[in-house]
């Protein structure tokens, strides 16, 4: 568990620690602390560490700049410089570098002991980790054991959640491009940390938790429009930064009680399933069709929708298999192109007369009339069902 520097800064100000540069990086996460006195030690820096230095081995600005540069390359969180004895003043070059690279640079007077600050930070980080674990477990209980309210209501209210708040659950399901499921838990932790950094500006209105091969984000006191905008932004940025992952987003319905969190989660899972089906089958689905897919997914008896599918276009599926034809594929393209012959022909690189012939053949096989709204609706619904079976 890591915590934003901005949050920690509020606590260490009492030690006369002041931010000198890199304010834009205050949302950087801190997992632990590390004392660095020279460039050789700097090579052992790990990601999300807040660094401290007395400057005992730093003889000039170049050395300090090199250490900060190494720290930045190792994804460290920031650095606190003990000034007054070995380092009297931070140069403009170092300040400019930290500002340009969004790397927080703090200074503290020589009379303040670094171990005192590190001890205080350790307590805060460990306490934060304990609280995070409690919240994570309580949210999982609310989702998977909703009838056992004693496991989560009191625990979440104790840390500031309110039972009567509005909640929206969103999930990001992960899939490795190489389908190696062993890597997913590691990716999920990285994705969660990434989300926490990206959403640091709304720190008090969400909580992210890893659940299996996905990351669930519980938003509270946010409008549906705000959540959709946030998730769209995350999806776009994550696709750029996690090129080896496939991401499937789902946003559930708003619920107005903590005890109904599980419903929002189930809804989000259903929407993610739709997006997975659409993506894996390379099917273009308009947003307006989502409501129909959601309705179909909520039908518990899948045999009912399978029977409807088989009775409606089952004969065409069999005909394609027996005769090695592509009538079902053409029918899908026909509906994707709003039942327009010319657009369908163009998308399939066929002559419009060929498409007309195949449509007539389909009508003959299925004994339907695609100009009839009733027949057209049944076929359209049946084609949607195909991606849920």
Per-residue model confidence as pLDDT tens digits over 277-288: 666 544 444 444
Q: How high is the pLDDT of residue 199?
A: 82
CATH of 3-112, one of 3.30.390.30, 3.40.1390.20, 3.40.50.720, 3.90.1570.10: 3.40.1390.20
Q: How high is the pLDDT of residue 106?
A: 95
Q: CA-CA distance, 336 to 357, in Å (whole number)? A: 18
pTM over 0.95: no
In a 13 Å sphere around the CA of 148, the CA atoms on its Cβ side amount to 12
Beta bridge partners of 108: 82
Looking at domain 128-261, does it have CATH number 3.30.70.100?
yes
As given in the structure block, the two tokens for residue 238 are 């994550």
Dihedral of CA atoms 87, 88, 91, 94 in degrees, nearest 10, equals 30
At a CB cut-off of 8 Å and minimum separation 6, what does 315 contact?
Answer: 365, 366
Q: Which residue stretches of 145-260 are H helix?
A: 153-158, 184-198, 224-241
Is the distance from CB of 137 to CB of 252 less than 8 angstroms?
no
**Chain region(s) in the chain for CATH 1.10.10.2840:** 302-386
Q: CA-CA distance, 262 to 149, in Å (whole number)? A: 12
Q: How high is the pLDDT of residue 270?
A: 79
Q: How high is the pLDDT of residue 286?
A: 46
The residue ranges of the chain whose pLDDT is under 50 are 281-288
Neighbouring C-beta atoms of residue 244, cutoff 10 Å: 10
Q: In angstroms, how far apart are the furthest CA atoms of the chain?
A: 92
CATH superfamily of 302-386: PucR C-terminal helix-turn-helix domain (1.10.10.2840)
Q: What's the distance, CA 365 to chain centroid?
A: 46
**Chain region(s) in the chain for CATH 3.30.70.100:** 128-261
Is the distance from CB of 9 to CB of 121 less than 8 angstroms?
no
> How open is the CA angle 176-181-187, to the nearest 5 degrees?
60
Q: Provide the 8-state DSSP code for 112.
A: S
Closest of 121, 88, 89 to residue 13, by C-alpha: 121
pLDDT digits (tens, 9 = 90+) for 162-209: 999 999 999 998 887 655 555 666 788 888 888 887 887 666 789 999
């Amino acid at each position: 568990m890591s915590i934003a520097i901005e949050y920690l800064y509020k606590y260490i100000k009492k030690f006369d620690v002041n931010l000198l540069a890199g304010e834009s990086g205050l949302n950087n996460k801190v997992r632990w602390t590390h004392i660095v006195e020279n460039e050789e030690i700097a090579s052992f820096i790990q990601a999300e560490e807040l660094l401290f230095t007395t400057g005992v081995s730093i003889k000039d600005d170049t050395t300090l700049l090199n250490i900060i540069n190494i720290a930045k390359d190792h994804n460290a969180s920031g650095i606190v410089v003990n000034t007054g004895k070995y380092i009297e003043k931070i140069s403009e070059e170092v300040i400019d570098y930290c500002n340009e690279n969004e790397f927080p640079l703090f200074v503290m007077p020589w009379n303040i002991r670094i171990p005192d600050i590190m001890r205080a930070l350790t307590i805060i980080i460990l306490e934060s980790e304990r609280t995070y674990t409690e919240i994570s477990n309580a949210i999982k209980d609310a989702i998977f054991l909703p009838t056992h309210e004693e496991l989560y209501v009191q625990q979440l209210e104790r840390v500031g959640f309110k039972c009567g708040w509005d909640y929206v659950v969103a999930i990001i399901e992960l899939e490795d491009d190489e389908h190696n499921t062993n890597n997913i838990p590691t990716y999920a932790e990285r994705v969660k940390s990434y989300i926490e950094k990206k959403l640091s500006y709304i720190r008090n209105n969400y909580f992210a938790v890893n659940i299996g091969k996905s990351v669930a984000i519980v938003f509270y006191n946010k409008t549906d429009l705000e959540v959709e905008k946030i998730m769209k932004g995350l999806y776009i940025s994550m696709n750029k930064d996690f090129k080896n992952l496939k991401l499937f987003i789902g946003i559930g319905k708003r619920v107005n009680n903590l005890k109904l969190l599980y419903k929002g989660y189930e809804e989000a899972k259903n929407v993610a399933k739709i997006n997975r089906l659409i993506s894996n089958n390379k099917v273009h689905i308009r947003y307006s069709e989502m409501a129909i897919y959601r309705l179909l997914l909520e039908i518990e008896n899948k045999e009912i929708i399978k029977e409807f599918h088989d009775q409606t276009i089952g004969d065409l599926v069999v005909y394609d298999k027996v005769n090695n034809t592509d009538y079902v594929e053409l029918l899908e393209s026909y509906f994707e192109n709003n039942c327009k012959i010319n657009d369908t022909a163009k998308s399939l690189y066929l002559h419009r007369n060929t498409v007309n012939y195949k449509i007539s053949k389909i009508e003959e096989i299925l004994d339907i009339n695609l100009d009839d709204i009733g027949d057209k609706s049944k076929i359209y619904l049946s084609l949607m069902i195909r991606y849920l079976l």
